[in-house]
Amino acid sequence: MTEKIKEFINDPEKLEKLYREDKKSFESGFRNIYSEIEKTEMAKFWKIRLDFDKTPSKAKQNYGTEILVLISVCLLAGFLIKIPDIFKINLIEFPFYEKNAGIIVFLGLTIYAFSVNRNISRKNIVTTMLIFLVSIIYINLLPGFRHSASINLAYIHMPILMWCVYGLVFIDFEFKNYGKRIRYISHNGDLAIMGALILISGGLLTGITYGLFMAIGINIERFYSHYIILIGLVSAPIVTTFILKNSALVTNKIAPIIANIFSPLVLITLIIYLVAIIVSGKDPYSDREFLLTFNIMLIGVMAIIVFSVSESSVYGKQRFSEIVLFILSIVTLIVNLIALSAIFYRLGEYGLTPNRLAILGSNILIFINLILIMVDLYKINFRKADLEKVELTVAKYLPFYIIWTIIVVFGFPLIFGMK
């Protein structure tokens, strides 16, 4: 039934026929795939229709249960992030947060996903928890040497690996379902936007709270930063996911607007930045810190392109946005070529190190992905192809990033040792 619903999602008559043939199977199938199709107008219509006959008391009960789940998961994440204080761990000798913070965040998100999704099989739950357990044991058994590049790279890439594991849960372990992969990419964009709004609100609340208590002569800065802020930060992604799930209509309107605003702004900023590099005489070939900043910027712009594509495709052809994205992909490719040439230059001059190899690998992956995206965007603008083609390219390419992340996390400490 789910496949038929997806196939006929833009055909009202066929959907109505499916519903009348088997109402129970239709409703169950529709709810299972709603996260994939929720941005279509027909899906919104059927969601309202199927929920119309539901009693308010039952909906309220389900919402209340989900609130309890949310609070429980946030408390668990808060407890885990406070382990150093509870068990008096010396953070100088043992870098607990570098090793575990990312794992705790995605463990909380994963547990919340399991709690609200009743269709997850027991096998997938066990597999996921085993992956988390192995990752926790592995990362905590690594020596806590902050001066070791290979160890630090494992710390940095472990949250990315956990993001991939959470992604598997999000797509219900349907590896070949590109539609769900695309939905996961879009979900991360929505998560980033709504999460930023929540963090801004939290920052304002923090400032007001400090001011109110300072006015009466009570300094709560230490308590607030150690408990409220820390627990709030690790709980924010879970709370954001809850909001996205229960207020989809609101977030679906915000994300495309943000994408359409930021894409041209990023393009203008990037062009000005490239001109400024030439004028200022900054040299990425010899300036290590500048090259690092250059690469961080490249990854950020790449993420914006992917997010903008996933959000723009929801509302069909948007000529201006498509042209902006095409030009942005070209400019980003130029930035990537500069970064790659600088990395190869430094490899030739100073030799191979874990950091240089990690940056080289990620840049090559981004370079190939950018070329594929640019070709697709060219076809969209000049060959009348659909924007979904870019989404499909991005979805198919994700496993290459996952493989490289696994190599860095588990392979680099073995290959380079403590170097």
Contacts with 356 (C-beta within 8 Å, 6 or more apart), sequence order? 343, 346, 347, 350
pLDDT reported for residue 319? 75
Amino acid (one-letter) located at 66: E
Q: Please report whether residue 228 resides in a domain.
A: no
For residues 410 and 272, state if they share a domain.
yes
pLDDT reported for residue 295? 80
Residue bearing tokens 């709370």: 239
Residue 27 token pair = 């409703």
pTM of the model: 0.82
For residues 270 and 390, state if they share a domain.
yes
For residues 263 and 378, state if they share a domain.
yes
Q: Please report whether residue 180 resides in a domain.
A: no
Q: Please report whether residue 65 resides in a domain.
A: no
Cβ–Cβ contacts within 10 Å for residue 111, how many? 21
Distance CA 207, CA 239 (A): 21
For residues 363 and 301, state if they share a domain.
yes
Q: Please report whether residue 219 resides in a domain.
A: no
Residues 344/314, Cβ–Cβ less than 8 Å: no
Domain that holds residue 317: 248-416
For residues 264 and 315, state if they share a domain.
yes
For residues 259 and 405, state if they share a domain.
yes
Helix or strand (DSSP H, E) at 67: helix 56-81
Contacts with 155 (C-beta within 8 Å, 6 or more apart), sequence order? 95, 98, 99, 139
Count how many domains the chain has. Answer: 3
Q: Please report whether residue 59 resides in a domain.
A: no
Residue 225 token pair = 């930063």
Amino acid (one-letter) located at 308: S
Boundary of a domain, candidates 170, 192, 226: 170
Contacts with 265 (C-beta within 8 Å, 6 or more apart), sequence order? none
Q: What is the DSSP code (8-state) at residue 171?
A: T
Q: Please report whether residue 201 resides in a domain.
A: no
Rounded to 5 degrees, φ, ψ at 174 are -90, 80
For residues 48 and 93, state if they share a domain.
no
pLDDT reported for residue 369? 92
Distance CA 274, CA 279 (A): 9
Boundary of a domain, candidates 10, 37, 52: 52
Q: Which of 170, 188, 204 is nearest to 237 (CA)?
A: 188
Boundary of a domain, candidates 138, 154, 170: 170
Cβ–Cβ contacts within 10 Å for residue 174, how many? 11
For residues 162 and 42, state if they share a domain.
no
Distance CA 132, CA 80 (A): 14
* CB-count exposure of residue 172 (10 Å: 0-12, 13-18, 19+): middle
Please compute, for residue 311, the number of CA atoms within 13 A of its CA located in the half-sphere on the CB side: 28
CA distances 108 to 74, 78, 87, 362, Å, are 7, 9, 21, 27
pLDDT reported for residue 52? 65
Distance CA 1, CA 24 (A): 10
Q: Which of 185, 184, 172 is nearest to 2 (CA)?
A: 172
For residues 115 and 256, state if they share a domain.
no
Helix, strand, or coil (residue 95): coil
Per-10-residue mean pLDDT of the chain, 419 residues long, equals 76 81 76 71 77 55 80 94 92 91 96 83 92 96 84 94 94 85 85 87 90 88 87 93 77 68 84 83 73 79 78 62 88 89 89 91 93 91 80 89 95 85
Q: Please report whether residue 339 resides in a domain.
A: yes
CA distances 50 to 1, 4, 43, 247, 286, Å, are 16, 17, 10, 17, 62
For residues 280 and 411, state if they share a domain.
yes
Q: Please report whether residue 176 resides in a domain.
A: no
For residues 257 and 158, state if they share a domain.
no
Distance CA 38, CA 245 (A): 11
For residues 156 and 40, state if they share a domain.
no
